[in-house]
Amino acid sequence: MSMAERMKRLGAVKVDEADRTSRAAAPAAAKTAVGGNMILSAHLNSANQKIAELERQLSDGPALDVSLDELVEIPGRRRKLTQTEYEELRANLAKYPLTTPITVVRRGPAQFEVLSGHNRVAAYRDLGRTTIPACVLQIEDGLIEYAAFFSNLLSPTLSDFEKYWGFRALQAQSGVSQAELAKAAGISAQHVTRIMKFDDLPEEAKAILADRPERLGSAAAEQLIEAGRRHPERITEAIRALVADPAMTQAQAVSMVREKPQRVVNEPLVVRRGKKKFCEISVRGNVIGLKLGPDVTDAEQWAKRLHEFIAESVKAE
């Protein structure tokens, strides 16, 4: 099955009808599907339009109160938030009701796999809540990873590094090309190519970056890779410093890796008269310096002789 076919099928995901009536506490809702070509649509011009469409479609479906104990979370799906971002989310949910339900798929009579909303789930757990509003979707097993990834991809705060991990997982699972990934994600092929440049980072560097993926964008990653081709260990150290120091910029990290041009200092040429130093000749770039010894008193005469020597040498060329 091609990526386009997979995404068309993913776009036709429907709310689980069984859950529509399985819980008496669930409010009645309009029978609306998570619309065709919602996640992948060649007619959507931006990720923001996709987000708005996703939220609208999900809001039309039934939101059920699912027990937190019934939720199953797959490692690697949770979107990374900074500590500040997570604390702001938790504070918001402590004060206001959840406006966007999490999305899940049914895994058994009392078990649901989380597709999106992992941070909302974590915040609810921290707040001591026992249930959370959820929209239960009915998706083929082979499309669940696509749904989970593209659901998070719609978030404007998803970092380039997290997109890289998602694209890499989808490629490993399906063998699709970068061009197909770009079409599916609704971004340019050039952008996907740049995001996949993260693959060229040293493995240790990627492991460090996984803790703070928002610290390095794809453009800076590409610059780091280019600058550190001969010294990949410098890339790792730069990323380690970038992750550890919130005040450090990506440009500073790139500067750490770039090789500084070595300043070549030539030893001066020494002319002696007997045992005494008569003069010292030094070269710095295109500048030739002449320093006469302390016992030399006829500097002007030597300047004229040098002038004559250079002029004659130029004529002879």
Q: Is pLDDT larger for residue 25 or for residue 108?
A: 108
Residues 83 and 189 in one domain: no
Residues 191 and 303 in one domain: no
Q: How large is the average pLDDT for residues 171-178?
A: 78
Q: Is the residue at 248 inside a domain? A: yes
Whether residue 153 has pLDDT greater than 70? no
| 3-class DSSP state of 237 | helix
CA 128 to CA 118: how far, in whole Å?
15
Instruction: From 108, 129, 157, give the residue that closes a domain.
Output: 157
Instruction: From 257, 284, 307, give the residue that closes a domain.
Output: 257
Q: Is the residue at 169 inside a domain? A: no
Nearest Cα to Cα of residue 163 among 111, 206, 124, 218: 218
**Full domain range(s) for residue 309:** 269-316
- pTM for the full predicted model: 0.51
Residues 104 and 54 in one domain: yes
Q: Does residue 232 contact residue 100 with C-beta atoms inside 8 Å?
A: no
Q: Is the residue at 144 inside a domain? A: yes
Residues 243 and 280 in one domain: no
Residues 93 and 67 in one domain: yes
Which of 80-84, 188-192, 247-251, 294-298 is most confident?
Answer: 247-251
Residues 20 and 110 in one domain: yes
Residues 24 and 101 in one domain: yes
User: Percent of the chain beyond pLDDT 70?
Assistant: 73
Whether residue 293 has pLDDT greater than 80? yes
pLDDT at 171: 81
Return the CATH number at 102.
Answer: 3.90.1530.10
Mean pLDDT across the chain, nearest whole number? Answer: 78
Considering all CA atoms of the chain, what is the largest pairwise distance in Å, rounded to the nearest integer? 111
Residues 204 and 109 in one domain: no
User: Percent of the chain beyond pLDDT 90?
Assistant: 38
Q: Output the CA–CA distances (angstroms, integers) from residue 234 to 154, 231, 261, 277, in the order listed.
A: 33, 6, 16, 46
Q: Is the residue at 164 inside a domain? A: no
CA 199 to CA 209: how far, in whole Å?
12
| Overall number of domains in the chain | 3
Nearest Cα to Cα of residue 233 among 202, 267, 268, 189: 202
Q: Which residue has the tokens 């041009």?
A: 261
Q: What is the pLDDT of residues 42-98, one digit of tens each?
A: 333 333 344 344 445 445 556 789 999 999 998 877 877 878 888 989 999 999 998
Q: Output the CA–CA distances (angstroms, integers) from residue 312 to 271, 282, 307, in the order listed.
A: 22, 22, 9
Q: Is the residue at 168 inside a domain? A: no
Q: Is the residue at 285 inside a domain? A: yes
Q: Is the residue at 9 inside a domain? A: yes
Residues 147 and 26 in one domain: yes
Residues 15 and 122 in one domain: yes
Residues 187 and 116 in one domain: no
Residues 240 and 309 in one domain: no
Q: What is the pLDDT of residues 13-36, one digit of tens each?
A: 444 444 444 433 333 333 333 333
Q: Is the residue at 300 inside a domain? A: yes
